[in-house]
């Protein structure tokens, strides 16, 4: 629902860009609404899952922070690419989402989620192996995982937002 949100303004987008409202304000409004919806739904599901799995408080906090980071990055990726590849002629959001730009957004989102899972899974596996079997484990593994998550999330958030904001300011609609 995030990628096609700008394109769904349709042919009336020219009225928006000619109004006194800055187009970047529309961009940030779309981002904020999508983030809030995405984050609340994901967080509710995580709380329910953590309750069912009887996770520790530390794991619940880790899950909450991970969902916050992933929510910001995935929404940034899709809103940014949505304005980079808009289709104001199409009225069907499913067709917009299945366009070339939508496929790029979906593949980048999938790659991002896959990388996040790998970054989190490796130290988690090593940590639980240490607890269960006494296998060697270093705090550097956690440090490297956190540093990798920070870098990945900065790239996945900042790059699409900058590209989208740059495009929205210079594109003729």
141-171: pLDDT as tens digits: 888 888 999 999 999 999 999 998 888 766 5
Contact at 8 Å (CB) between 109 and 74? yes
Number of domains in the chain: 1
Average pLDDT over residues 61-77: 90
Which of the two residues, 128 and 22, has the higher pLDDT score? 128
Q: Given pLDDT bands bounded at 50, 70 and 90, which one contains residue 24?
A: confident
Average pLDDT of the chain is 85
Residue numbers of the domain that contains 14: 3-170
Is the Cα torsion angle 59, 65, 116, 4 positive or negative in sign?
positive
Average pLDDT over residues 52-58: 80
In a 10 Å sphere around its CB, with 0-12 CB exposed, 13-18 middle and 19+ buried, how is residue 85 labelled?
buried
Q: What is the pLDDT of residue 171?
A: 56
Which of the two residues, 114 and 29, has the higher pLDDT score? 114
Give dist(CA 80, CA 24) in Å, integer: 11
Average pLDDT over residues 33-43: 94
Average pLDDT over residues 53-78: 87
Which of the two residues, 96 and 45, has the higher pLDDT score? 45
């Amino acid at each position: 629902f995030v990628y096609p949100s700008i394109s769904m303004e349709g042919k009336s987008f020219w009225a928006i860009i000619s109004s006194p409202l800055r187009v970047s304000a529309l961009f940030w409004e779309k981002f904020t609404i999508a983030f809030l919806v995405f984050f609340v739904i994901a967080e509710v599901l995580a709380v329910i899952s953590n309750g069912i799995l009887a996770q520790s408080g530390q794991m619940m906090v880790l899950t909450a922070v991970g969902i916050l980071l992933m929510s910001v990055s995935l929404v940034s990726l899709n809103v940014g690419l949505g304005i980079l590849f808009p289709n104001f002629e199409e009225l069907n959001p499913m067709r917009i989402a299945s366009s070339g730009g939508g496929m790029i957004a979906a593949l980048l989102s999938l790659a991002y989620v896959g990388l996040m899972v790998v970054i989190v899974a490796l130290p988690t596996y090593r940590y639980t192996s240490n607890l269960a079997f006494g296998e060697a484990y270093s705090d550097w593994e956690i440090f490297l995982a956190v540093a990798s998550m920070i870098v990945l999330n900065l790239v996945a958030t900042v790059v699409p937002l900058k590209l989208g904001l740059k495009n929205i300011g210079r594109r003729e609609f």
